Amino acid sequence: MRHNQRKELALVLGGARAGKSSYAETLARQGEQTLFVATAEPLDDDLRRRIRAHRARRPASWSTLEEPLELAAAIPAALAGHDTVLLDCLTVWISNLLLAQEHEADAETAILAHAEALLDLYEKLDTRWIVVSNEVGLGVVPATELGRRYRDLLGRVNQLFAARADKVYLMVAGLPLELKGLAAERL
């Protein structure tokens, strides 16, 4: 980690195309060696195009870990020599987990346990983490039961990360609003 950089958990939230990933990448550039953790899988042409665009934006010096499900198990083995972890994104990760466990009676409990395990991993490590996630609770109520389960579950996971984060940014039209700083000013 750079001399003036400290261990920190930053959560970058926002809607679609709000500038979350770009802002998170800007934050990650403050580190000396970044591990980019990608959760998306190239399942169709649109996703393949988006993944290519994200890869092209990242510095060549960054390492990439592509893991759609088992983040807490995969990150430690890839972390050697890195001072910063950029996880993009919780939104896709939670979707991957829910789809993998969609018919399990205790899927939400198991997924929340995955999220807690990831947060526990952060606590054990001496690295700075930047985590990207969509704020999905501001839009239209999903038409399907699975969509509503997903929205509610991601909202709970976002709350878990926000509660433990040092900084929480809400991205609106490409502009960051630091929420924890605002909350502290109000107290």
Catalytic residues, by residue number, are: 54
Strands (E), the chain: 9-14, 34-38, 63-66, 84-88, 128-134, 167-172, 175-178
SS3 state of residue 59: coil
Q: How many CB atoms lie within 10 A of CB 142?
A: 14
Phi and psi for 64 in degrees, rounded to 5? -125, 135
